[in-house]
Structure formats: structure tokens, C-alpha cells
Amino acid sequence: MVEDQKVCRGKGTLLSRGPVSGKLSFYFTCTEEDVYIHFKDLLGRKTMLMILNPNSVEAWDIIQNIRFSSESIYLRFPFFEFVTPKDLIAIFWGYEPLFQIDNKIEKESSIHITFSSNELTLDAVHIDMDTEKQTIDITFDEREYGSSYPHLIKSIPPSIPQAQS
């Protein structure tokens, strides 16, 4: 059923513990190969827009009005060494990515990734980065397949200044 869909929307939460701590709720829209994620803080303010394409990630910190390129995001989040944007797109669609969490990850790094699923789709991802003493939990509270809301798909305005890496 999910494989025939062209659009998926939903919401969830991201909980980060460690040097970067906090809890953000998010709303997302998946179109065939792109994911648009709107993060909100505890007060309900939109704080960030993240756009995932199969080969890149862009983010706009709405509060500070700064754009982050794929390279600067990869530097800040070491799990991107193993989890590609394409893998994250699969996660938002509700699939466990095709990469293998095997001995390569365990031996070459201190990053551990686990998934939790219900009967139909992926509903949680836990990323533990031992070296950085950081954990990230992404929980998907709901997904709706097939409903199109094109007004939720946004882009980062070209006038937003690029962050310095």
C-alpha cells in the first residue's frame, strides 16, 4: 500500500540528549524523493526548515535567519557519515533504510542506530553517538499517505545568508 503512494505527511518529535539537548516537535511532508521538515519549539514557534533531497540536506534556522549547507550539517552531525539523506528519506516514508548496521559501523565508529516498527511502518529511530556523548531519538507519532497539501512544501528563500562552517 505504502509503495503506491506519492505523498506522505506526518508529525513526530526529536529528542536530543548530550551537549546539544532539547526536544522539538516536527511536521513533515514527503514527495516522491524529497522531504520537507518543519521543526517547532516548546512554544510552538517554527524554528527550522530542513529539506532532504537524495543527495543533499539543507536547513534554514528561522530564528537566527541562517541557511546551512549539506557540508556544515554533516560536520555538526557525525551520524551523516553512515546515514545518508537517501536513508533519512526512507525513514520519513516509514521504511528501515537499506544500509546495513553491521560490524563496519561498530568497528569504525562509536555510532549505534536502532529502529522500532509497528505492524506497518517504522515509528522510532534511536541514534547513540558514544564519542560525542550524544543521543537522538526520532519518534513518528502519525503518518498519512496519499493526502497532498502543496502549500506545506516550502523552499529556503535565496536571500537567507549562508552560515560559516
| Residue 90: its H or E element | helix 85-93
The pTM for the full model equals 0.82
pLDDT in tens, 106-157: 555 678 889 999 888 899 999 888 777 889 999 999 999 887 666 656 777 7
**What does the pLDDT average to over 15-33?**
88
pLDDT in tens, 4-16: 678 899 999 999 8
Of 51, 48, 57, nearest in space to 16 by CA: 48
pLDDT of residue 108: 55
pLDDT band with cut points at 50, 70 and 90 for residue 33: confident
Cα–Cα distance, 131 to 57 (Å, whole number): 23
103, pLDDT greater than 60: no
Residue 124: CA count within 13 A, CB half-sphere: 8
Residue 163: CA count within 13 A, CB half-sphere: 18
Cα–Cα distance, 31 to 20 (Å, whole number): 30
pLDDT of residue 100: 52
Query: Burial, 65: exposed, middle or buried (Cβ in 10 Å; 0-12, 13-18, 19+)?
Result: exposed
Given phi > 0 = left and psi -120 to 50 = alpha, else beta, which region is 146? left
**Residues in contact with 27: Cβ distance below 8 Å, sequence separation at least 6, in sequence order:** 9, 10, 11, 37, 38, 40, 152
pLDDT in tens, 47-79: 899 999 998 899 999 988 999 888 888 777 767
Task: Supply the CATH classification number for the domain 2-142.
Answer: 2.50.20.10
Distances (CA, A) of 15 to 21, 57, 92: 8, 20, 16
